[in-house]
Structure 1
Amino acid sequence: MSEIDVFVVYYGEYAHVDDIEGIFETREQVEEFRKRFAKNKKLNVTTKKMNPRFFSDPLRIPFLVCLRDGELRPSGIIQLTGIDECAKAGRGEVEREEDFWQVYVMAENKNAAIQYALNKREALSLKE
C-alpha cells in the first residue's frame, strides 16, 4: 500500500484524538469543511501520512543519545517514537554541531544504546 497525504483538521492543541474533527484526502475538502457555516470557529490543519512506511525491529529499541566531546556520560537519552526519528535510528545516523553529538541508535536497552553511541563517537572522532 502506498503512502497517501491526508489532512487532519482539529480545534485546540491536537493533544487528544477527541480534538480531531475530520480527516480529509484533499485541501478542497478541508476548505469546504472550514467554510461550512456563515461563521466558523478557527480550525487548524496538519498534513500526515496515511499508511506511512516505517522502520521496524522487534528485538531492539530506538534511542537518541546526546553526547559532548570528551564526556563519558550522555547529556541526554530518550526513547524515540516518531516515524522519521525511528528511521534515523535504524540507519544509525549521527548529527554533530561543534562538540555536541546526537547519535540515533537501535539497542536492546539504555545501557547498550549509550555504549553504542560512545563507540560510534569515538570511531568518527578518529577519522577526523
Structure 2
Amino acid sequence: RIAYLLTDQAYLLTATRFRDPHDTPGLVPYYFGVASTLWATWQITTLAGLLLGSVIPESWQLEFTIPMVFAALLILAVRSRPGLLAATVGGVVAVLAHDLPYGLGLMVGALAGVAAGMAADREPR
C-alpha cells in the first residue's frame, strides 16, 4: 500500500530527511505527509491540465518544467564529490550519446556516471 504513493520526489525528500538509517522515528508519517501532498498536487494539476490545456499558449513552453524538477532533485541528492562527479559524467555522456539507437544514450550515460562515481569513491582521501 505504501508503494502506491512512491514517486522520485517523495523518495528523495524522505531519503534526504532520514539519511541516518538508525534515525527512523517519524519516517513513515513524514513519508506519508510528503507523498500524499505530492499525490494530491499531481491529481489537481492533472485535472487543471485537462481543463485548461487547450487554452494555454504553446509559447509558455511548459514542457521544460519536468527537466527542471529533476534538476532540482539532483541538487538535493548530490552531497559528495563522487556523487557530483557521477552526475556530471552521467549527464555529459548521456548528451553526447543521445543519437545512439533505441534510446541507449541515457543508459550509457547512467552506466558511465555510476562507474565514475564508484571510481571516485574508491580514491584515497
TM > 0.5 fold call: no
Q: Which has the larger share of strand?
A: 1
When the two structures are superposed, what TM-score results if normalisation uses the length of structure 2?
A: 0.27
When the two structures are superposed, what TM-score results if normalisation uses the length of structure 1?
A: 0.26
Q: Which has the larger share of helix?
A: 2
